[in-house]
Amino acid sequence: MTLKERISDIFEKYSVELAVEEKEETQEVAFATAVLDSGQEIQTDADAFAVGVSAFVVNDEGERIPLPDGDYKLQDGSMLVVAEGAVVEVNEATTEPEVEAEEEKEEEMKAEEVEASSDVLTREAVEGMIAEAIEATKKEFSSQIEERDAKITELSKQATPSISRAPKMEVPTPVNLTELSMKERIAAIQNQFSK
């Protein structure tokens, strides 16, 4: 039986009926966001950053703080000029094809260097690393056991016996009274009680 079926059975058993509450639809406001080259996120009330729209930063408390006047470089390479909290100029990122090709070549060279520098581990090397790790773990555990044993020995030396032992009592050997005379019986009984 699935969880859904179990819950349905419980609802049916206790005559529980679920109803769907219709909530008022709230219109969500779409803010355009951008990330400065410093990593700071900025926003605007408009669909995109354009001349005339307000630009702001949202702090941890959710307050909107107008972006201070200045030139801002975005991570995509475009530039924004802000004055009095509004965008006054937008310069799209311009990259020359030659620069992009050069950057791609550099990235390929770096990737090749990484591939060439990475060491290939052999099975024996991996087995050796595992064996070293096991030995290190054994040493660690044995040192912990030795420390524990030393503490136990130290504490047992400090401990005083808390229970005193009673002296051993001799158990009298049983005497067969039927084979004894009357005087011997009385003497044997007196000897048992006198001890």
What pLDDT sits at residue 106?
79
Is 43 in contact with 56 (CB distance < 8 Å)? yes
The pLDDT, as a whole number, for residue 26 is: 56
Q: Are 53 and 87 in contact (CB under 8 A)?
A: yes
14-23, 74-83, 113-122, 177-186, range with greatest mean pLDDT = 74-83
- Which token pair is 62? 């959710």
Q: Give the rounded percent of residues in the chain with a pLDDT score beyond 90.
A: 6
Note the pLDDT tens digit of each residue in 66-116: 888 989 898 888 888 999 888 899 888 765 555 666 777 777 777 666 555
Task: Specify the pLDDT at position 164.
Answer: 59
The rounded mean pLDDT for the chain is: 79
23-69 pLDDT per residue, tens: 666 555 667 888 888 888 888 888 888 888 888 888 888 788 888 89
Query: Position 11: which residue type?
Result: F
pLDDT band, very low/low/confident/very high, at 129 (cuts 50, 70, 90): confident
Strand ranges (DSSP E) for 22-159? 32-35, 41-44, 56-58, 64-66, 70-73, 79-83, 86-91
